[in-house]
Structure 1
Amino acid sequence: MERTPIDKHNSFRQNDQTSTSSSANDGRDQHSRHGSDYDSNDPSGRAQIANEVDQFLDVLSAIDDKSSGLAEVPDIVPAFAKIVESEIVMYNSGEANRKFGKVAEEDSFFLESIRRISRLTNALSEFSSNTNVSLLNHTSAALQRAMAFLEDEFRVLLDGTDHCEGEVPPQNLKKFLSFNSKHDQPDRSAVQRELDSGESDEYPPYPVEVVARMHDIARTMIFAGYETECYQVYFFSRRNAIRNKMIKLEFEVILNMDEVVKMTWEQLEVEITRWINVVKCCSEIIFPGEKRLAESVFADNIDTGNNLLRNIVRIVVIQLLDFAEATAMAKRSAEKLFRYLDMYESLQNLIPAIGDESCPAEVMSEVAAAIDRIGESVVSIFCDLENSIKSDTARTPVPGGAVHPLTRYVMNYLKYACEYKDTLEKVFGKQAALGKKYIPPVANSLSSQDLEKESESPHNFETMVNKTPFSIQVVTVMDLLDVNLDQKSKLYKDPSLRCLFLMNNGRYILQKAKGAPEIRQVMGDTWCRRRSTVVRLHHKNYQRETWNRVLHCLSHDGLLPNGKVNKPLLKERFKIFNTTFDEIYRAQSTWVVSDEQLQSELRISISGVVIPAYRAFVGRFRQYLDPGKQMDKYIKYQPEDIEGLIEGLFEGNTSSMSRRKT
């Protein structure tokens, strides 16, 4: 028999209640008139009812020829249909102690009765004779009223905790997450509070006994052939519950592609942060909770539960992917890298929450495609860093040989990027799998002969032991930075300042790498040793270019021909020393060494070379100068004065000469 669809059950609900009650009473009267002597409120009476109905069902199933009508129908059959209807009237009576879910024995008998009347209806419908139409209509009507009651009860139970204000029309399914937030700025506290408080284990927060009743109702409706109605009630209730959960967490509208493209980065960053929070909530709270609920409610109907869960998850995931797709197509720029990496990781974390029977294969495929597109954006943005370095061809040197802004920018960029090392390894690994190959840049101008034994090459790439796609990319950036800095050093006419500039930048790169375990892990200890060697080399070159001139003034060569002091030449040496030292001090006190350790190392090394040589020279030859004005004229500085002035070097102080001791 073709059953009446659930959306037509309203006609049963709109019938006059007195008529239904009267029918139920008529059933009881008919039951009495037929002489039955059992009580449906008594456990033994219920057992007898069930036994008689089951016996009749066995008789029906044993009849092979169903083309003729039934010769006789036991009294219990029409009476049983009335009993079911009377139970519905009882539950709808409004009495608190007669509500469904209050008395376990009543509920169990009622649900079992519904399953029996469903079997009766199906069995009677197999007989083609018109003599049984009245009886069939009677059982069918009772079954439909029972299903309408269970449908309402199922909805009440589902909506009892997450009650939603009005239904969301089916045509708006795809936009059910589109709602406004109260706040203009993203707030992670709502999500974090729930995760920290353990609410993820309590979502959805239905008591155990409520879930058990949902399970009994779903089992009965599906058994009776009303799977579609059960499906619809569950689907719309849980869909609206998720929508309300999002509203509670104060999430903004999930924007479409046109809106995303028009946004400034500041606006888009806010939306990305909000989106990441949505994904986090779905991954850690909503989807696991929905999976647990579906598994419990549809424990006896796994396929139905999985199908429902797939459709609920699909709606949310597609909405999230729409935003991810739009963001991936937005204009790319360096500052977007880290938010894109956060999105990439969020989508990766979403996969375990949906990566089983809870998500259709096509949705999983779309998630994977969205991850790939975000990954492509990440690669593109990171590779743009190479272009930024190459295109930085400013012709104005940094004052005082200080650390170049490009060096600071690149190293800080790498520091934060390497915090996403594992993610970037996946991203670049995927690109490598697609056939993209590494092409090393041109090595910088330092030759291998300039380096000590612990480093055989100036080229960063050649110091790598474990070459992964991402580490190669980082080395590429490092190589390009070295080449760029070497070119910028040539902007300084003073060779000493050129060496100081390279030393400053090299030391900054080294210290940043040592202070960031992620960079050091990528580059390796060999690279750090090589970088230290390069910095020492620049230090030696600086000292040679600057202070060898001073030491040359303090040479004894030519001052003692035939064992006698050449006074004119001695006086000239003192004058040249004073002039040379003044020039060096005047210039280099304005030079900048911001790294305190490097500054200290430079001063100590200079003092260690200059002070002993100057003290020995003065001590050896001052006796050959006339005391008084002549000595003051040629011995302008005492060794202690030189030592004090050296301590004033590299501070970037343009007025440092005024502090000179005399």
Structure 2
Amino acid sequence: MERTPLDKHNSFRQNDQTSTSSSANDGHSRHCSDHETNDSSGRFQIAHEVDQFLDVLSAIEDKSSGLAEVPDIVPAFAKIIESEIVMYNSGEANRKFGKVAEEDSFFMESVRRISKLTNALSEFSSNTNVSLLNHTSAALQRAMAFLEDEFRVLLDGNDHCDGEVSSQNLKKFLSFNSKHDQPDRCAVQRDSDSGDSDEYPPYPADAVATMHEIARTMILAGYETECYQVYFFSRRNAVRNKMIKMEFDVILNMDEVVKMSWEQLEIEISRWINVVKTCTEIIFPGEKRLAESVFAESPPTRNNLLSNIVRIVVIQLLDFAEATAMAKRSAEKLFKYLDMYEALQNLIPAIDGESCPADVMSEVAAAVDRIGESVVSIFCDLENSIKSDSARTPVPGGAVHPLTRYVMNYLKYACEYKDTLEKVFGRQTALAKKYIPPVSSRLSAQDLEKESESPHNFETVVSNTPFSIQVVTVMDLLDVNLDKKSKLYKDPSLRCLFLMNNGRYILQKAKGSPEIRQVMGDTWCRRRSTVVRLYHKNYQRETWNRVLHCLSHDGLLTSGKVNKPLLKERFKIFNTTFDEIHRTQSTWVVSDEQLQSELRISISAVVIPAYRAFVGRFRQYLDPGKQVDKYVKYQPEDIEGLIEGLFEGNTSSMSRRKT
């Protein structure tokens, strides 16, 4: 009669080291209960025989007839696994799971064998195998329950809290808890120094390797759901705790955000940006690395876990972003909104991939667009605020207008976000079409001199990108507004000084900001300098030409003789005119020191030589004594000193007057 695979297996066992096998067979029960026997080579021999038995079972094609006989190694092997679990749970520090690599390796391999054995036996339909199958199934369930607990302990960062902690582990324990503020947890570090608590997640390499083995074993045994749940809840709670530490544990609803003052909302936005940055740079990459290590052989499980963890965090972040986008918009919010936009943009590559659901990516993209719309709206509000600024009170002394300071500082900070704003405005194609500038050639210096005093922003700007067009539009609006405000000054000289002050401020801000200069270009800067010089010339013409007219020689000589009454009148008019100019323009303001110096030098260069020549030539025609003191009120040096006191915004007396 032909021998079956099971007969061959039994024959093999009878002929293979009979004495050793007999003693092993006679004492299988003692194997399972006696730990010293488990540590002997007998258990490895049984494991080897289980492998051979599995080969026999797989070779049987007809599984409907059941098994006539099952070797004793099957229940013995099940009891070995149960005894291993008892050993791990004994409470002895050196018997705990994860302490002895050889023991752990044998146990994990044994669990995988009992899983295969249980599956193989379940394929036979004979009722005679039910008791045996129940035995292996029970051992497998206990092993799975044990591994599930160990998996949870490793993930939660706990070690067995039995009070027997080595000084090295105690040091690691205290260090970990001090850094991570987890006083209720046990030591996460094992004896291996491969872990680094500064990393996220703070698991040592040996702990991650053990998690991988447990996950692999549970999934192979058909306990994927239990493995999934333990991992998911543990990592979800870990991420939640991380966010709580960053004070982002309270979810603000739409109404709360909308009702917040800007000061409160600004704090919340800063906190939100910090959380998004941490998620982008630390949490999501860390979770991905951990999942890839633990579930290396199970990509679907890994991706599903990461997907759900990412979804929970991202949805909470997007809820706040959506609420913020709906809040009342104002100019001061622009830069925080830009920070939010950049944070979301940086988040996309951190979550993009197989592990991120398409709907989550879609929600992130939508949130980016909504924040972008808020940015565009706020920036356009800047245009509206310039157009609507129709204040009728001129700035005292022709100083730089607050609107000019506000707009230029606003543009300076906005241009620091140039790349981001180019992306934002790039999506606004309608806006770009609306402001297409006219085509014009480069203007030469001579051409610029001939042009009017308009800066011609669109003609001189270096590029026509969506954001640069927006900046130039703001510049044009500001120029128009300043021109209107200059007409509030009745004095033409002060009008010129006001335009000169503001034009110089705009130019210096642009030159001092590489970002603005990059947008506007060198040609624009040269044109703006030309315009400021034109204001300077106009001021000098409106103010000091009157003084020079007083020093004219015309009409003073008649038939070779000096017309003394007219000479005296000229001196009197000069003194009155100069006194008036000094008294008035000492209260005018030029805050730019370089411009102030340029003005004083140019005035002195025109007035002092003319006055010195006039006094030098005609003083001799005045009677010595009181008449000279009466009409020659100032010496040239006095005039020079008084000019040095102009544009300081004060009303100091002419203390430097000399007789």
Give the C-alpha shift of residue 353 in structure 1: 2.1
- Distance in structure 2 (CA, Å) of the matches to 1:577 and 1:153: 101
Contact 2:118–2:133, Cα closer than 8 Å, also in 1: yes
Cα distance change of structure 1 residues 397 and 61 upon mapping to structure 2, 3 Å threshold: same
Q: Deviations over 1:425-474 (max 9, x none)?
A: 22112223897632669xxxxxx999427999732111112221111111
For 2:466, the aligned partner's letter is P
Distance of aligned partners of 1:298 and 1:655 in 2 relative to their CA distance in 1, 3 Å threshold: same
| CA gap 1:521/1:234 in 2 versus in 1, 3 angstroms | same
**Structure 1 residue aligned with 2:293:** 296
CA distance in 1, matches of 2:580, 2:562: 28
8 Å contact from structure 2 (residues 432, 469) kept in 1 = no
After TM superposition, list the pairs within 5 Å mapping 1:163-562 onto structure 2: 202-251=199-248, 253-432=250-429, 437-438=434-435, 451-452=448-449, 458-562=455-559
Partner Cα separation in structure 2 for residue 240 and residue 511 of structure 1 = 54
In structure 2, distance between residues paired with 1:434 and 1:295: 46
1:621 aligns with 2:618: yes
2:633 pairs, out of 631, 636, 640, with 636
Match of 1:563 in 2: 560
- 8 Å Cα contact 2:575-2:633 kept in structure 1: yes
CA distance 1:88–1:436, change in 2 (3 Å)? farther
Whether the 8 Å CA contact 1:451–1:457 is kept in 2: the answer is no
The Cα of 1:103 is off from its aligned counterpart by 1.5
CA separation of 1:435/1:483 partners in 2, compared to 1, >3 Å: closer, same or farther?
Answer: closer
Per-residue deviation at 1:653?
A: 1.4
Does structure 1 retain, via aligned residues, the 8 Å contact 2:118–2:137?
yes
Between the two proteins, what is the percent identity of the paired residues?
90
Residues 385-414 of structure 1 show CA distances to partners (whole Å, capped at 9, x for unaligned) of 000000000111111111111011111111
CA distance in 2, matches of 1:42, 1:200: 35
Give the conservation status (yes or no) of the 8 Å contact 1:425–1:468. yes
- Out of 635, 638, 646, the position equivalent to 1:649 is 646
User: Is the contact made by 1:451 and 1:458 (CA closer than 8 Å) also made in structure 2?
Assistant: no
Deviation at residue 606 of structure 1 after TM alignment: 0.3
Q: CA RMSD in A?
A: 2.6
User: Measured at CA, do residues 440 and 608 of structure 1 come closer, stay the same or move farther in structure 2, by a change above 3 Å?
Assistant: same
Task: Note closer, same or farther for the CA distance 1:454–1:61 as it changes in structure 2 (3 Å cut).
Answer: farther
Q: Displacement of 1:47 after TM fit?
A: 4.0
Deviation at 1:507, TM superposition (A): 0.8
Displacement after TM superposition at 1:68 (Å):
1.9
Alignment counterpart, residue 75 of structure 1, candidates 72, 77, 83: 72
Which of 58, 61, 84 is the aligned partner of 1:61?
58
Q: Cα deviations across residues 113-155 of structure 1 (Å, max 9, x unaligned)?
A: 1111111111122222322222221211111111111101111
* Contact 1:648–1:656 (8 Å) recurs in 2: no
Tell me: CA distance 1:355–1:134, structure 2 relative to 1, closer, same or farther (3 Å). same
Q: Which residue of 2 aligns with 1:166?
A: none
- Against the structure 1 CA distance between its residues 349 and 622, is the aligned structure 2 distance closer, same or farther, given a 3 Å change threshold? same
Structure 1 residue 145 and structure 2 residue 137: aligned? no
Q: Distance in 1 between matches of 2:617 and 2:430?
A: 73
Q: Contact conserved, 2:212 with 2:293, CA < 8 A, in 1?
A: yes
Q: Is the CA contact (8 Å cut-off) linking 2:454 and 2:531 kept in structure 1?
A: no
Alignment check: 8 A CA contact 2:247 2:271 kept = no
> Is the counterpart of residue 600 in structure 1 residue 626 in structure 2?
no
The letter for the 1-side match of 2:390 is: T
CA distance in 1, matches of 2:626, 2:90: 123
Alpha-carbon distance in structure 2 between the residues aligned to 1:493 and 1:199: 74
CA contact (8 A) 2:586 2:647 kept: yes
The SS at the match of 1:352 is helix
Q: How many residues align?
A: 593
Letter aligned with residue 458 of structure 1: P
**C-alpha distance in 2 between matches for 1:566 and 1:220:** 120
Q: How far apart in 2 are the matches of 1:464 and 1:264?
A: 39
The TM-score normalised by the length of structure 2 is 0.85
Cα distance, 1:94 vs structure 2: 1.6
Displacement after TM superposition at 1:42 (Å):
5.4
Per-residue Cα deviation, 1:597-653 (whole angstroms, up to 9, x for no partner): 111111110000000001111111112222222222222211111111111111111
Unaligned runs of 5+ in 2: 1-23, 161-194, 439-444
Aligned to 2:99: 102
Secondary structure of 1:74's partner? Answer: coil
Partner of 1:590: 587
Letter in 1 for 2:514: P
**Per the alignment, do residues 545 and 273 of structure 1 end up closer, same or farther by CA in structure 2, a change over 3 Å counting?**
same
State the SS of the aligned residue for 2:250: coil
The 1:456/1:618 distance shift into structure 2, 3 A limit, reads closer
In 2 relative to 1, CA 581–200 (structure 1 residues): closer, same or farther, beyond 3 Å?
farther
Deviations 1:536-591 (A, max 9, x none): 11000000111111111111222223333222322222222122112211211111
Q: Give the CA deviation at 1:506.
A: 0.6
- Aligned CA distance change for structure 1 residues 435 and 30 (closer, same or farther; 3 Å): farther
Q: Structure 2 CA distance, aligned partners of 1:468 and 1:328?
A: 26
Amino acid at match of 1:275: W
The 1:450–1:540 alpha-carbon spacing in structure 2 relative to 1, beyond 3 Å, is: farther
The answer to whether the 8 A contact 1:347-1:367 is kept is: yes
Partner in structure 1 of residue 117 of structure 2: 120
C-alpha distance in structure 2 between counterparts of 1:51 and 1:161, whole Å: 34
Query: 1:545 is matched by which residue type in structure 2?
Result: E
Code of the residue aligned with 1:384 in structure 2: it is D
Amino acid at match of 1:87: E
Partner letter of residue 50 of structure 2? V
